């Protein structure tokens, strides 16, 4: 399994970015509208890290890993057949690819097709 995108939802975006810059030697850019206004950094291995504020009142702080898949439509159907709830269906995310979120047994999982 290859991590494609690590999403961190937090009330203090700038402080979290500063922490990750210090810990992991990654630089974060300006807010990116195509990724929910996340500030995005890229690791040397190509993994993207996005830090953003909650997009709705009900969204809680979390850290969500998006794993790369070759066929996101198929992967989302497999997850659903396994009893997962599709929280966000496969959706094109600007030029970066397509993502989906499913919830299985209370855990949020992310899929990403580059």
pLDDT tens track for 70-84: 999 999 999 999 999
- Do 4 and 49 share a structural domain? yes
- Do 87 and 57 share a structural domain? no
- Do 42 and 22 share a structural domain? yes
pTM of this prediction exceeds 0.85: yes
- Do 48 and 97 share a structural domain? no
- Do 58 and 13 share a structural domain? yes
Q: From first to last of its 114 residues, what are the pLDDT tens digits of the chain?
A: 899 999 999 999 999 999 999 998 899 999 999 999 999 999 988 899 999 999 999 899 999 999 999 999 999 999 999 999 999 999 998 888 999 999 999 999 999 999
CATH of the domain at 15: 3.10.180.10
Q: How many domains does the chain have?
A: 2
- Do 80 and 39 share a structural domain? no
Look up the domain containing 12 and give its range. 1-63
Q: Are 6 and 50 in contact (CB under 8 A)?
A: yes
């Amino acid at each position: 399994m290859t991590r494609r995108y690590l999403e961190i939802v937090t009330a203090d975006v700038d402080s979290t970015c500063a922490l990750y810059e210090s810990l992991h030697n990654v630089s974060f850019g300006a807010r990116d509208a195509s990724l929910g206004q996340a500030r995005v950094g890229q690791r040397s291995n190509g993994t993207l890290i996005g830090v953003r504020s909650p997009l709705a009142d009900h969204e809680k702080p979390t850290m969500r890993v998006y794993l790369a898949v070759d066929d996101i439509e198929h992967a989302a159907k497999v997850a659903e057949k396994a009893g997962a709830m599709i929280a966000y269906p496969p959706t094109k995310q600007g030029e970066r690819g397509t993502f989906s979120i499913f919830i299985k047994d209370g855990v949020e999982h992310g899929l990403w097709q580059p």
